[in-house]
Structure 1
Amino acid sequence: MLRYVGFLVEIGLTVYCLIDCIQTDQYRVRNLAKSMWVLLIVLVPVIGAVAWLVAGRPEREPRLHAPWPSTQTAGFPEYERPRASADVDREFLAAMRESDEKHEQMLRDWERSLREREARLGDDVSAPDQDPQAPPQR
């Protein structure tokens, strides 16, 4: 059993390096062409595999501590975004409250205007003796 451990390690290392080399983008491979690395790993199993790990494999890029890979290219996820100061947050919230109040006042004015218009229309309908061509009285 102990006799086969070295052979299994050699096969495992060769298979790992071969798969890693094949899946690597050809423009990121260092020092040799990708096809040359595949041949080297297959023809000289242990030395080729170690050479791939040391000299051919692309250098690692710094990783973001994000749970999914899409944030690495899309920018900061919300929890990694630099926090603004509390003053800016208070100013923002005050501006939002003011905007909401203006919006509510505008809706109240519009609603009042609609009620007045409905009241005028109701008065016009109840007075049929007026000329239909005449403009409504205000």
Structure 2
Amino acid sequence: MPYVLFGLLTMALWVFCLVDVITREETQFRHLPKGGWLLVVLLVPTVGSLVYLFVGREQVLRLPNGRTGFTEYERPGRHIAQNAAEDEEFLRRCRERAEEQRRAARRRETDDI
């Protein structure tokens, strides 16, 4: 009886990992591409499934509204400006602050002399 239970759990784990690898997007894997993880799970069912779960799966936080909760550095497309007007405003404020800091540094240098 314990062997049957162990076999069923192993098979359930293997099927879960196969379905998970097949349905995930290419960007949601670590260390190997999607095809590599598929081969690992297929060829080494128990150990490959466990390795995939603990090492290869990208953990994505699911929020209650169904959206994914990426951290800012992991958000797909983070290098693309989302709103050009806000981006220009942000860059303008950065330039103004940098110039203000340069003026303050020059004043401190002249005050020290």
Q: TM (normalized to structure 1)?
A: 0.45
For 1:35-54, list aligned pairs within 5 A: 35-54=35-54
Gaps of 5+ in 1: 74-138
Kindly state the Cα deviation for residue 32 of structure 1 after the two structures are TM-superposed: 0.3
Give the aligned partner of residue 32 of structure 1.
32
Kindly state the Cα deviation for residue 56 of structure 1 after the two structures are TM-superposed: 0.9
Kindly state the Cα deviation for residue 2 of structure 1 after the two structures are TM-superposed: 2.5
Number of residue-to-residue matches in the alignment: 68
Confirm or deny that 1:12 pairs with 2:12. yes
Gaps of 5+ in 2: 69-113
Q: Which amino acid aligns with 1:13?
A: L
Kindly state the Cα deviation for residue 11 of structure 1 after the two structures are TM-superposed: 0.7
Give the aligned partner of residue 107 of structure 2.
none
For 1:79-98, list aligned pairs within 5 A: none
1:21-60 deviation per Cα after TM superposition (whole angstroms, max 9, x unaligned): 1101012211101111011101111110011101111122
Bigger CA radius of gyration: 1
1:44-80 deviation per Cα after TM superposition (whole angstroms, max 9, x unaligned): 111100111011111222x3333xx2xx38xxxxxxx
1:72-124 deviation per Cα after TM superposition (whole angstroms, max 9, x unaligned): 38xxxxxxxxxxxxxxxxxxxxxxxxxxxxxxxxxxxxxxxxxxxxxxxxxxx
Q: TM (normalized to structure 2)?
A: 0.55
Q: Which amino acid aligns with 1:35?
A: G
Q: Which amino acid aligns with 2:63?
A: L
- Structure 1 runs (4+) deviating above 6 angstroms are none
Q: Which amino acid aligns with 2:30?
A: R
Distance between the aligned counterparts of 1:5 and 1:56, measured in 2? 26
Q: Percent same amino acid among aligned pairs?
A: 34
